[in-house]
């Protein structure tokens, strides 16, 4: 097996408990940072972040991206095609953080 094949076979599986813990942490950080009038524990982790869910807009998402960079050492590029998926819900964001974090 060559080096390229080894890289392709790396698993990015995450534990459900780890994702839940990061969801809780993110909910607390986001509500505090954005001054949301909702308690972190009241946020449904599958609720959309944009629009009708939490009602966030593109500026809020930018603030969350900066928060993630500061707290977890993850740089999310503004022009990434993955952003719609990454920021689709608190759960999706937590899964991304768990897979990518350096801290």
Q: What number is the average pLDDT over the span 41-47?
A: 92
Q: What is the dihedral of CA 61, 62, 68, 73, to 10 degrees?
A: 150
Length of the chain in residues, anyone? 103
Phi-psi region of 2 (alpha: psi -120 to 50; beta: other; left: phi over 0): beta
Predicted confidence at residue 14, as pLDDT, reads 62
What is the chain's mean pLDDT, rounded?
Answer: 84
Question: How many CB atoms within 10 Å of residue 29?
Answer: 17
* pLDDT surpasses 60 at 90: yes
pTM strictly above 0.85: no
Encode pLDDT of 5-25 as tens digits.
333 333 344 678 899 999 999
- Domain architecture of the chain: domains with CATH: 15-100 (1.10.1200.10)
Q: What number is the average pLDDT over the span 83-98?
A: 93
């Amino acid at each position: 097996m060559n080096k390229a094949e080894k890289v392709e076979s790396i698993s990015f599986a995450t534990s459900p408990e780890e994702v839940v813990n990061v969801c809780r942490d993110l909910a607390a950080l986001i509500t505090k940072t954005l001054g949301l009038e909702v308690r972190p524990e009241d946020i449904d982790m599958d609720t959309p972040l944009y629009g009708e869910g939490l009602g966030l807009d593109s500026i809020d998402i930018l603030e969350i991206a900066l928060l993630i960079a500061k707290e977890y050492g993850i740089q999310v590029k503004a022009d990434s095609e993955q952003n719609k998926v990454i920021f689709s819900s608190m759960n999706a964001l937590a899964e991304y953080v768990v897979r990518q974090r350096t801290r």
